[in-house]
Amino acid sequence: MTDAIALTIHARDGAARTGALLTPRGDIRTPAFMPVGTAATVKAMRPEDVRATGADIVLSNTYHLMLAPGAERIARLGGLHRFMNWPRPILTDSGGFQVMSLAKLRKINGNGVIFQSHIDGSRHELTPERSMEIQRLLGADIQMQMDECVKLPCPPEEAERAMRLSLRWAERSKAAFGDDQPGRALFGIVQGGVERTLRIESARALVGMDFHGYAIGGLAVGEPQADMLATIEAVIPHLPDTKPRYLMGVGTPDDLLQSLRRGVDMFDCVMPTRAGRHGMVFTRAGRLNLRNARFADDSRPVDPLSTSAMARDYSRAYFRHLVKAGEILAMMALTEINLAYYQDLMAGARSAIGEGRLDAYIEETRRGWAEGEAEET
């Protein structure tokens, strides 16, 4: 496989590294957080404002886009970048995870998954070949193999079955991705639940197939943080140092710091955007629930050190009023503040790695959460 999308590492600090993933659509500074733009929009954000928070890449969901407005339609309209007016890199998932979590009457077999749309009940089939075809039609810069992600906890035999199926789908995904997509990348996904031996077997087999990058899937699905971190520690040594490592669907700010410290380069999570739509805001002083009555007369800004003007130029009392009144501006503002917080966190980590002081940065950051008005719930 050609390394159309290449990782360059600028500095290391322990197992952590910082650098950039170079793509024809722009560089992705790593460690990177990718905001989730499920239905071709990062909810409640204009793309230029997503960019202004510091995002180099966004993620979009194959499952949602295949159902509406349809991959062929987006292709006719010039591809996903043009459709959503985001000229920078886009990563798409395979659709498999959301078929299993959102669709109705899903039935998995060796070939793929047959399911009914959660929107209108229409019948669809997703196979590794169709998933890759959709991602190609969308024009995604980073495409993901189709895999099966089991819920945790699960019996080892079930984790093993899904891992082996995912390996077969990895081969089929790679064949379908082909060698005619210059400047685009395909990532394999390590599965195996929290079984160390399964995870290592999965990683080795995928590396043998030679992907442009490697994801760790199936984590942050209900297991304790310690299990997640142990799994990351088990897998990382078996992944090539020169390729990007992507931890899928993770997580809290602390999850991100603990994981990048162990060598993860890329993250995505709905947490900052979803929390922002529900009155929760991430700050240097921990997470605040702006529905709380104690903010009703609080004239202080949400986070005076934020890079987002929304966090500096309005009072907590104002946002509390907007949240209680169900105003759209609350969702817009808190989403932006949260995305800026996640990007600021990554920027801080990149600097700290460059200066060889990542552990001190993590310690300072955690102290801020603890000393502030954290109300982690």
Active site residue 93: yes
Q: How many CB atoms are located within 10 Å of the residue 192 CB?
A: 28
For residue 265, say whether it is annotated as part of any ligand binding site.
no
Residue 111 is given by DSSP the state S
Contact map string, positions 316 to 355, toward a second copy, x by CB under 8 A: -xx-xxx-xx-xxx-xxx----------------------
Active site residue 241: no
SS3 for 314-368 is: CEHHHHHHHHHCCCHHHHHHHHHHHHHHHHHHHHHHHHHHHCCCHHHHHHHHHHH
For residue 315, say whether it is annotated as part of any ligand binding site.
no
**Phi, psi (rounded to 5 degrees) for 238:** -95, 5
Pick 85 or 242: Cβ nearer a second copy: 85
Contact map string, positions 286 to 315, toward a second copy, x by CB under 8 A: ----------xx-x----------x--xxx
222 burial level (CB within 10 Å; 0-12, 13-18, 19+)? exposed
Tell me the residue ranges of DSSP E strands in 94-244. 104-108, 113-116, 123-126, 142-144, 185-190, 213-216
Decide if residue 39 touches a second copy (CB under 8 A): yes
For residue 93, say whether it is annotated as part of any ligand binding site.
yes
Pick 28 or 302: Cβ nearer a second copy: 302
- Using CB under 8 A as the binding rule, the residues of this chain from 46 to 65 that contact a second copy are 46
CA dihedral sign of residues 110, 64, 203, 175: positive
Amino acid 369 reads W
Smallest separation, CB 344 to a second copy (Å): 20
For residue 96, say whether it is annotated as part of any ligand binding site.
yes
Smallest separation, CB 324 to a second copy (Å): 7
CA dihedral sign of residues 79, 80, 81, 85: positive
Structure tokens at 107: 């039935």
Pick 105 or 325: Cβ nearer a second copy: 325
Among the residue ranges 69-77, 151-159, 196-204, 235-243, the one whose residues contact a second copy (CB under 8 A): 69-77
Rounded distance between C-alpha atoms, residue 317 and residue 321, angstroms: 6
- Residues annotated as catalytic (active site), given as ranges: 93, 268
Known binding residues for substrate are: 93-97, 147, 191, 218
Residues that bind a second copy (CB under 8 A): 39-41, 43-46, 68-69, 73, 76-78, 83-85, 296-297, 299, 310, 313-315, 317-318, 320-322, 324-325, 327-329, 331-333
